[in-house]
Amino acid sequence: QAHIECADTVWAARGIGGVQAEDAIAMSAIEHGCTVEELASRPTLMTVTNVNSPRRVDAEILDNIMVMAGHGQCVVITPFTLMGAMAPVTLAGALAQQTAEGLGIIALCQLLRPGAPCVLGGFTSNVDMRSGSPAFGTPEYLHAVFASAQIGRRLRIPVRTSAVNASPTVDAQSTYESAFSLQAAVLSHSHLINHAAGWLEGGLSASLEKIVVDAELLRNWAEILKPVSFSDDDLAVDAIKAVAAGGHFFGSPHTLARYQTAFYRPLLSDWSSFESWTQAGAHDATARATAIWKKVLADYVPPPLDPAVSEAIAAYVATRKGALEGTSPA
């Protein structure tokens, strides 16, 4: 219900339990003003779920996958292949296992409904062999992302990856590990970046400050990927000639006509000098991120939603809560 009322993006059904998938599909049909049967011809949902590697899928997850695939909704299947723990310690061996486990579930989806949309997830990374803790944003993780995307292209199947880290808090480690992970996701041409914002502690926790930090990373990559113009106007030969040797371009008509939109404006970065930064309160990136998310929440306005849809969703949720009261969750 919160997904539908608070955002206007594609949302994911809970990846465990067939009943949960059925509820998500029914609510998505209400949201889009169609029947459950009609929804099957226009995928609007995805479920992101895992193989309990090695070579096992829990019954509740299978129920979820079969309901979603049977209704023509997207299944993102991600084997949980951590090298040295749930998969071989070698990259090649872990990738072989990841591919086999993922393709097995994709084949099941196609048996249930030929053409059902599927995404092959890649989550292969290494563990700290001293503690057994998962590690992310590592060289091994990046190798796995690039290789997984190549495998997906070879098989002509979309690929999911993540912008993950293993830091216990919002700090330099969480930022550089997520930056490495995101870089691999983008440069590998992966199709879906899961956990793109807010992830911490190997997925055990999330942070509003980290969402803001990650939003800065994502905005930067969106800007980097924009095409660069080399028109005569952009080459600015006349502007170069007009500025004297040893002069500056601050007052150039070419600059004045473009300075407001010429460069990417960061959400989080502070480019002031140390003295100016100190005088302004010496707020580091995490402190600035805290101020940003608080302002975002204070200024938040829900996206437009047909009141009839909102009422129908609320009625469905109330009915289902009543029906499920006293039952054990899957």
Report d(CA 295, CA 231) in Å as an integer. Answer: 39
| DSSP conformational letter for 202 | G
Q: Report the domain count for the chain.
A: 2
Same domain, 138 and 36: yes
Same domain, 238 and 192: no
Tens digits of per-residue pLDDT, 147-173? 999 999 999 999 999 999 999 999 999
Same domain, 251 and 153: no
Average pLDDT of 96-102?
98
Domain end among 241, 263, 285: 263
| DSSP conformational letter for 231 | -
In this predicted structure, what is the pLDDT of residue 324?
A: 86
- Residue 196 domain flag: yes
Other C-beta atoms lying within 10 Å of the C-beta of residue 250: 9
- Residue 294 domain flag: no
In this predicted structure, what is the pLDDT of residue 325?
A: 83
Average pLDDT of 97-126?
97
Cβ neighbourhood burial of 164 (10 Å; 0-12, 13-18, 19+): buried
Beta-bridge mates of residue 48: 76
Tens digits of per-residue pLDDT, 207-262? 999 999 999 999 999 999 999 999 999 999 999 999 999 999 999 999 999 999 99
The domain spanning residue 24 has which CATH number?
A: 3.20.20.480
Cβ neighbourhood burial of 288 (10 Å; 0-12, 13-18, 19+): middle
Same domain, 173 and 205: yes
Domain end among 263, 281, 313: 263
| Helical residues (DSSP H) of the chain, grouped into ranges | 2-6, 18-31, 36-39, 59-70, 91-112, 139-155, 172-187, 208-224, 232-235, 237-242, 253-256, 274-279, 285-299, 307-324
Domain end among 215, 246, 263: 263
Same domain, 239 and 212: no
- Residue 109 domain flag: yes
State the residue range of the domain holding 257. 232-263
Query: What Å distances lie between residue 276 and 270, 281, 283, CA to CA?
Result: 10, 9, 11
Same domain, 189 and 259: no
* Amino acid (1-letter code) at residue 13: A
* Amino acid (1-letter code) at residue 210: K
Q: What is the pTM of this model?
A: 0.92
Look over the chain and give the mean of its residue pLDDT values, rounded to a whole number.
95
- Residue 287 domain flag: no
Query: Taking CA 152 as the corner, what is the angle to CA 147 and CA 155, rounded to the nearest 5 degrees?
Result: 125
Same domain, 69 and 90: yes
Same domain, 256 and 133: no
In this predicted structure, what is the pLDDT of residue 292?
A: 98
Percentage of the chain modeled with pLDDT above 90: 93
Q: Is the pLDDT of residue 329 over 60?
A: no
Q: How confident is the model at residue 328 (pLDDT cuts 50, 70, 90)?
A: low
Same domain, 25 and 82: yes
- Residue 124 domain flag: yes
In this predicted structure, what is the pLDDT of residue 330?
A: 52
- Residue 286 domain flag: no
Tens digits of per-residue pLDDT, 28-85? 999 999 999 999 998 999 999 999 999 999 999 999 999 999 999 999 999 999 999 9
> What three-state secondary structure class fits 35?
coil
Same domain, 17 and 98: yes
- Residue 60 domain flag: yes
Report d(CA 118, CA 75) in Å as an integer. Answer: 5
Same domain, 247 and 219: no
Residue 85: name the closest of 54, 51, 46, 115 by CA: 54
In this predicted structure, what is the pLDDT of residue 130?
A: 92
Report d(CA 317, CA 311) in Å as an integer. Answer: 10
Same domain, 54 and 151: yes
Query: Does residue 95 contact residue 50 with C-beta atoms inside 8 Å?
Result: no
In this predicted structure, what is the pLDDT of residue 62?
A: 96
Report d(CA 39, CA 43) in Å as an integer. Answer: 6
- Residue 219 domain flag: yes
In this predicted structure, what is the pLDDT of residue 10?
A: 87
